[in-house]
């Protein structure tokens, strides 16, 4: 019986996940298809029931449903509880288990670039759903501290408790003339962009949340945006001598961890990267 893995979100037509997940399934001869389910909020209960079918291995969940799908989960793990959102559902004997592989995706992307966050002072730009996973990832990796910079200070404050006792999380504004931001950027070892600025077809695809003058040589600049692969944020960082790390690595590594959970197989990461880049190139033509 051909089994199914779903991608649940709205919209989902832009996602690269179907391309690289199906390539991985095919490469290992797994009899399964990866489908994109573009669902409105009112359709989520029906989707959850469908996921309990023996024909479903599980699902990825993307925006805007990462929090809403929690209502239908039988067994969320500790990462889901900590982040407050899921991105992977695994069907096991009629029950829906959930985790958040965004956390491991962040860490594996940085480790692959030779930039382990342990002991690093981190500036995190933006305070949305992706930012929560980044803070938790930094806590897991034993980063020294995190400063969350966001235009709405109150939203950044919501992430402070995620650091726990061992990793202090503080906040500042996200404006070019913000003295606290300037100071935090000057001290930072790692700067992470979790905003959508610079994203193709996003609110401002030519923008970067911080200019080149705020970076310094020796820093690591990690952009969660993966379309385009080389974003204005990464260009600004590189111009100042910082080391750029693109978001495609996070996307593929979080997907690889999901693949491992659904299938029990070691994911063919090289195949996944190749398929993701081919899909990106096809869209650029």
Q: How far apart are CA 98 and CA 91, in angstroms?
A: 9
18: how many CB neighbours lie within 10 A of its CB?
19
Classify 115 as helix, strand or coil.
coil
Residue 242 falls in the annotated catalytic set: no
Q: How far apart are CA 178 and CA 83, in angstroms?
A: 28
Q: Are 122 and 145 in contact (CB under 8 A)?
A: yes
Cis peptide before 277 (omega within 30 of 0): no
- Kindly state the DSSP code that residue 138 receives in the 8-state scheme: H
Calculate helix-pair angle for 269-284, 17-27, nearest 10 degrees: 140
- Kindly state the DSSP code that residue 250 receives in the 8-state scheme: H
Please provide the size of the chain in residues: 285
Q: How far apart are CA 240 and CA 171, in angstroms?
A: 24
Classify 125 as helix, strand or coil.
strand
Q: Are 65 and 44 in contact (CB under 8 A)?
A: yes
Catalytic: which of 65, 66, 82, 139? 66
Angstrom distances, CA of residue 210 to CA of 185, 227, 231:
9, 18, 12
Structure tokens at 25: 């399934």
Catalytically active residues are 66
């Amino acid at each position: 019986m051909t089994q199914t893995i779903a991608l649940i979100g709205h919209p989902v037509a832009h996602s690269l996940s179907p391309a690289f997940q199906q390539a991985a399934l095919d490469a290992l001869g797994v009899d399964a298809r990866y489908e994109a389910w573009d669902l409105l909020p009112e359709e989520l209960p029906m989707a959850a029931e469908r996921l309990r079918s023996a024909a479903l291995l599980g699902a990825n969940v993307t925006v805007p449903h990462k929090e809403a799908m929690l209502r239908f989960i039988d067994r969320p793990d500790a990462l889901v509880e900590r982040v407050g959102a899921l991105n992977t559902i695994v069907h096991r004997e009629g029950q829906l288990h959930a985790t958040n592989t965004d956390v491991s995706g962040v860490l594996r992307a940085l480790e692959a670039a030779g930039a382990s966050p342990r002991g690093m002072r981190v500036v995190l730009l933006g305070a949305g759903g992706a930012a929560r996973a980044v803070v938790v990832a930094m806590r897991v990796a034993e980063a020294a501290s995190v400063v969350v910079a966001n235009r709405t200070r109150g939203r950044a404050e919501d992430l402070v408790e995620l650091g726990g006792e061992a990793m202090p999380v503080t906040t500042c504004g996200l404006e070019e003339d913000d003295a606290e931001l300037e100071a935090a950027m000057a001290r930072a070892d790692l700067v992470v962009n979790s905003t959508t600025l610079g994203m193709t077809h996003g609110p401002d695809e030519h923008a970067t949340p911080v200019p080149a003058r705020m970076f310094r040589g020796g820093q690591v600049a990690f952009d969660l945006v993966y379309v385009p692969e080389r974003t204005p944020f990464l260009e600004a960082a590189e111009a100042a001598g910082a080391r750029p790390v693109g978001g495609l690595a996070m996307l593929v590594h979080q997907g690889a961890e999901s693949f491992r959970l659904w299938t029990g197989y070691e994911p063919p990461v090289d195949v996944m990267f190749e398929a993701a880049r081919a899909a990106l190139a096809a869209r650029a033509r």
